Structure 1
Amino acid sequence: MPVVLDPDAAAVYKTFLDADRPPYEALTAAEARADYSQARFATNPEPPELARVEALAIPAPHGKIPARLYVPMKLRQRDGLSPALVFFHGGGWVIGDLDTHDVAARKLAVEGELIVISVDYRLAPEHKFPAAVDDAIAATHWIAANASALGIDASCLCVGGDSAGGNLAAVVAIAARNGNGPAIAGQVLIYPAVDFAMTHASHSEPETSLLLTHSVIRWFRDHYLNGTADTHDWRASPARAPTLVGLPPAYVLTAGGDPLRDEGDDYAQRLKVAGVPVTYRHFPGQFHGFFTMGKLLPQADVAAKEIGAWLRISASDDRS
């Protein structure tokens, strides 16, 4: 499928090429994390002001899971409780943290008029699969169990994330449907990674190998998974779940210049076939990762506003 980047996206991509930075697969995990963290200052927009931002430490079998609670100025409430989004950051399960996705979490809180809790799950290769999954599920359990104390309406609890975070959100939704978790009102999957088989056409098209290249995806996979057998585990590849029936409503976003494009599209279509209400949004002229680059890419703000509007319906007591 031909990919024609929007002018602003093409300009950003050229800037990255001109910078001639080493690819992640040439770095150690620690070096890649530092590089990714530093890059946010050039791409993230100014953080919107919120009513409150609070650090959390979520108890888990291995210790505490760091998290961050965001409360916007304008907050939907009923009987003193608000809807919430549990957010998992992207970064290939290897890079990224609460700070790299701080602005994204803030914008979703503002646009959705709800509480956002961003979860800093354990990263690979120090903590391989299924450590990130275990943390995502444990954190969602804890948030639901402590909803009232957090000011959250547990009946209006959504999950979401970008890329690897979208993978974790999809897995948490399936686990909850299977009985391992609280009821989930909706799932926001922003260019999610859902199938480690990587056999969809967009995984081999040169036009999609832009900021997220085919080789760096393999680098992420090799750091995260223990071996090829994990590819078939639905907790790594949610598209491999035996059935998608009974999952919560989904907002699925894909980008044209993205190796994950076709698997995200396929997952959205399979959700629809399974009877799940799906809002599917494709940004043909953007590349993987654009959602966090609002300082440079206006379409990031468009996406945030659309997701916020969707959350105001899905994470609501009066949703149909």
Structure 2
Amino acid sequence: MLHPQARALMDLMAERGVPPTHTLSPAEARAFYRERRTFTQPEPPQVAAVRELTATTPQGDIPLRLYRPLGPDATTVLPVLVYYHGGGWVIGDLDTHDTLCRELANAAGCAVVAVDYRMGPEHRFPAAVDDVLAATRWVREQAGALRLDPGRLAVGGDSAGGNLAALVALAARDAGDLPIAFQLLIYPATDMRRGHPSHTTNGDGYVLTRDTLAYFHDHYIADPAHDLDWRASPLLHTDLAGLPPALVITAGYDPLRDEGLDYARALTEAGNRATCVCFERQIHGFITMGRVLDEANTAVALCAAELRRVLG
């Protein structure tokens, strides 16, 4: 059932000898991820405005990038999606997810603020969690100056970024000081123990492997006991009630598939509104690959439609 386009991409990677991420140093993996994006990502669409910002927080200065969509004029107060990039808490940055943020902004008619959080192994858990929480609070505090509506603030991310978005929603609910309107969780990591069946059935042969997951985990998590901390594994939080509506996207050939589904199920059972859509024929990371995977563009359109519906 693997999509022929996904199979063709994987065959091309094998033919060209693309090295598995876990065989590279973090610096090499970051550079390779940044450079190879041009082969699979669409051309970045034009948006109305892009601003480089800096959030001054107790953790230090955090780089941000603000996108305003085509259409509304510069004075319009817009809903906003605060977006956390994927990359296993080790790789990825504002540039690797620039196209996706532009696509979401234009299609959803909202502003997007991308967060360049600290990563491992230089900055271990919970540095990334602290950064995304601080950055999201900063966006809310600065909403007036940025022409954003703090009452229509969503969080989202893919993979490790989906993990962080889920954690922000939980921490915001617990603190009661950061209202979140929606959470967009794209193939999120929700259980650091990595014991769900899809880690076995999809653990080899589909780009993101068990070895690469272990590489990311071990560069991010310093103490194995942290796997049980809900700030690393949101699925293990003892109370999932009272959370914002969620859209969870999963992929059929992704090791993270089952923990994404389980998180959506747990959200629903706790009384929340949660929708889970599995792209059965796709691999992990597919949503940024719209140049070579048609279903990536479908997934982007679905995410944008939900953002537009919920945020108005």
TM-score by length of 1: 0.95
1: CA distance between counterparts of 2:72 and 2:264? 29
**Counterpart among 180, 183, 186 of residue 179 in structure 2:** 183
Describe the superposition over 1:205-258 as per-residue Cα deviations: whole angstroms up to 9, x where unpaired. 156641111110000000000111110000001111111100000000000110
Helix, strand or coil: the match of 1:244?
coil
CA 17–76 in structure 1, closer or farther in 2 if over 3 Å, else same? farther
Contact 2:67 2:112 in 1 (8 A): yes
> What are the within-5 Å matches in structure 2 for residues 185-204 of structure 1?
185-204=181-200
Contact 2:64 2:114 in 1 (8 A): yes
Helix, strand or coil: the match of 1:216?
helix
> What are the within-5 Å matches in structure 2 for residues 88-127 of structure 1?
88-127=84-123
- Note the C-alpha offset of 1:63: 2.0
Q: Does 1:55 align with 2:69?
A: no
The residue type paired with residue 308 of structure 1 is A
**Counterpart among 294, 303, 308 of residue 307 in structure 1:** 303
- Note the C-alpha offset of 1:74: 2.5
Contact 2:69 2:110 in 1 (8 A): yes
Contact 2:202 2:255 in 1 (8 A): no
Contact 1:209 1:259 in 2 (8 A): no
Q: Does 1:34 align with 2:34?
A: no
> What are the within-5 Å matches in structure 2 for residues 120-199 of structure 1?
120-179=116-175, 181-199=177-195
TM-score by length of 2: 0.97
Identify the residue that residue 69 of structure 1 maps to in structure 2.
66
Contact 2:202 2:253 in 1 (8 A): no
Describe the superposition over 1:37-68 as per-residue Cα deviations: whole angstroms up to 9, x where unpaired. 11101011011111100000111223210010
Helix, strand or coil: the match of 2:39?
helix
Write out the 4+ residue segments of structure 1 that deviate beyond 3 Å after TM superposition: 206-209
The residue type paired with residue 17 of structure 2 is D
Describe the superposition over 1:118-176 as per-residue Cα deviations: whole angstroms up to 9, x where unpaired. 00000100000000000000001000111111111101000000000000000000000
The residue type paired with residue 259 of structure 2 is E
CA 290–72 in structure 1, closer or farther in 2 if over 3 Å, else same? same
CA 212–117 in structure 1, closer or farther in 2 if over 3 Å, else same? same
The residue type paired with residue 55 of structure 1 is E
Q: Does 1:83 align with 2:43?
A: no
Describe the superposition over 1:73-118 as per-residue Cα deviations: whole angstroms up to 9, x where unpaired. 12499x9411000000000000000000000100110111000000
Helix, strand or coil: the match of 1:127?
coil
CA 231–215 in structure 1, closer or farther in 2 if over 3 Å, else same? same
Contact 2:59 2:130 in 1 (8 A): no
Identify the residue that residue 268 of structure 1 maps to in structure 2.
264
**Counterpart among 200, 214, 222 of residue 218 in structure 1:** 214
Identity %: 49
User: What is the aligned-residue RMSD (CA, Å)?
Assistant: 1.4
Bigger CA drift: 176-185 or 225-234? 176-185
The residue type paired with residue 168 of structure 1 is L
- Tell me the matched-pair count: 312
**Counterpart among 1, 5, 18 of residue 2 in structure 2:** 5
Contact 1:186 1:248 in 2 (8 A): yes
2: CA distance between counterparts of 1:214 and 1:181? 38
Identify the residue that residue 277 of structure 1 maps to in structure 2.
273
Bigger CA drift: 5-14 or 202-211? 202-211
What stretches of structure 1 of length at least 5 have no aligned partner? none
**Counterpart among 241, 245, 250 of residue 249 in structure 1:** 245
